[in-house]
Amino acid sequence: MAFFFYVGPSDAPLAPTAFEAFVKVPKFLRPHTQIYCTSERVFGNREDLVKDIIAELQPENGEEWWTYVCMGPSDPHPNWHLGMRGTQHRAVMWCVWKEGGTGFLYWGANCYEKATVASAETRSRRGLPPGDGVLFYPGEVFSHSHQPVASVRLERILSGLQLKLYTSRYGRDEGLALLEKTGVYLGPERYTLEHMPIDVMRGEIFSAACRT
């Protein structure tokens, strides 16, 4: 299975607008590619554009649409950069689920600057936003073991995965209703900045799990 990730063509007159050209990318990669992985920053705050991507795919031929975050999108959109709000970190997977993609790519989990010894101070790679590509830290630096240490940002991914598990049991409509009811995530620039709605959503998911 071939995999291709991209932001879109920038130097070819494929269509009147950049996004229309972006949508045409799968046509040029068939039949050699089955998974098309696009940057979340392509959509900006236009969640409605997702339907144009999905309409271009051929799931009957095994094609899938994934998304990824890397250097962008930047604040106020969801990402896993240091300095962003905790709710902003959690919103990454809420966004992925709500858009309806079948997968998600993150480019690196331990991509800090090289060091000559494992216990050296960790440094983000130059030219990247702080924390980009780093979700684990070496145990030699942050604990008394050699086991990798998970970042808080990695643990926050759980909120998005909980929603996916909930909907695998109760269906997509129930998941959308839960987002609407709690207000945790309505769009790329419309997600909660407070933790109380997240606690409410967790309570709903926990209660549903206890009923099964």
Burial of 97 (0-12, 13-18, 19+ CB in 10 A): buried
Q: What is the pLDDT of residue 18?
A: 72
Q: How confident is the model at residue 12 (pLDDT cuts 50, 70, 90)?
A: low
The neighbour count for residue 11, using CB atoms within 10 Å, is 6
pTM above 0.85, yes or no: yes
DSSP 133: T
pLDDT in tens, 32-74: 899 999 888 888 888 888 999 899 999 999 999 999 998 889 9
Angle between helices 152-170 and 196-211 (to 10 degrees): 40
Say whether pLDDT at 208 is over 60: yes
Say whether pLDDT at 125 is over 90: no
Average pLDDT over every residue of 65-88 = 92
Top pLDDT among 143 and 110 is at 110
Backbone torsion region of residue 121, taken as left when φ is above 0, otherwise alpha when ψ lies between -120 and 50, otherwise beta: beta
